[in-house]
Amino acid sequence: MVAVGTIVWLASELMFFAGLFAMYFTIRAVEPQLWAEQTEKLNVPFAAANTLILVISSVWCQIGVHRAEHGQGSRTGKLLEVGKWGMREWYVLTYIFGAIFVSGQVFEYAKLVTEHVTLSSDVYGSVFYMTTGFHAIHVTGGLIAFLLIIGRTFTSRHFNRFHETGAIVTSYYWHFVDVVWIALFATIYLLK
């Protein structure tokens, strides 16, 4: 039931982001000169590297799910024996990469503010910060979920089906956030 509920909830989130994309394309069609001028200020190589970090985090997340599905909540060897890591260690790595991604977005925002692209500077700034900002809020929500799942592995004696389900639905959310970002990256940074 939890997995089905999560999928239904993610479908509603998809509609939310569809609305943001619609807003982006509508305003872009109305203000093409502004778009051409403001998109020149975007650092595409930096955003591409940040996107790669988020995609890699999704890979780490899926490896963690695989470990959870096999009942391995935590490592069975030493910390540097990556092959013996459990779900917890892979989720910690996912968390770190997710946090780096959000930090990268904050760094990019700071750089754009110095170039006078702000939420209130013009319609481009409003749309840019609304779409990427709402995504950053969703990533932060995913990071909180990872902390809860990781914390749960420390508070229980045995890794069970309950823990596995939590790990799996958290991965659904994380992969959703990843796919949405890939679409945002392609739309905002690559589509001219």
Q: Is 164's pLDDT higher than 90?
A: no
Residue 2 pLDDT exceeds 90: no
Number of domains in the chain: 1
As a whole number, mean pLDDT of residues 109-126 equals: 92
Q: Is the pLDDT of residue 73 over 80?
A: no
Q: In terms of residue numbers, what domain contains 161? A: 2-190
**pLDDT at residue 79 greater than cutoff 90:** no
**40 by DSSP, 3-state: which?**
coil
pTM: 0.89
Instruction: Write out pLDDT tens, residues 123-140.
Output: 999 999 999 999 999 999
- Categorize the per-residue pLDDT at 188 as very low, low, confident or very high, splitting at 50, 70 and 90: very high
143: CATH: 1.20.120.80
DSSP characters for 126-139? Answer: HHHHHHHHHHHHHH
